Amino acid sequence: MTKADLVNEISEKTGLEKMAVQNTVEAFMKSVRTAMTKGDNVYLRGFGSFVVKRRAEKTGRNISKNQTIIIPAHNVPAFKPAKTFVEKVKKNVAVK
């Protein structure tokens, strides 16, 4: 499902205009992005959590030059689904 598909589905289910739904979806994504950029996690009860994970410094290889390189510690965004969400996907039941 793409963002456009999501906007269409929400618009059909709620009766709101597509532009209003699209603006809401964009605002939601921007809010999550801004919070995570600041290092904050976003928790959506019953759905999941958008969390910032810390990756430790590690040694890697540049195989084209046959050199060892050091990959610095860095943060990465991650999504951890809620237990109820995982259970519904495992049972292959449509999430409402």
pLDDT tens column, 54-81? 999 999 999 999 999 999 999 999 999 9
Residues 33, 60, single domain; the answer is no
Residues 90, 64, single domain; the answer is yes
Residues 94, 58, single domain; the answer is yes
22 lies in some domain? yes
Which range marks the domain in which residue 80 is found?
A: 51-96
pTM beyond 0.75: the answer is yes
Residues 36, 56, single domain; the answer is no
pLDDT, tens digit (0-9, with 9 covering 90-100), for 11-32: 999 999 999 999 999 999 999 9
Residues 95, 56, single domain; the answer is yes
Look up residue 75 and give its amino acid. Answer: N
Angle between helices 3-14 and 18-37 (to 10 degrees): 130
Strand ranges inside 1-96, DSSP E: 42-44, 48-55, 58-62, 67-71, 74-81
16 lies in some domain? yes
46 lies in some domain? no
Q: CA-to-CA distance for 77 and 83, rounded, in angstroms?
A: 19
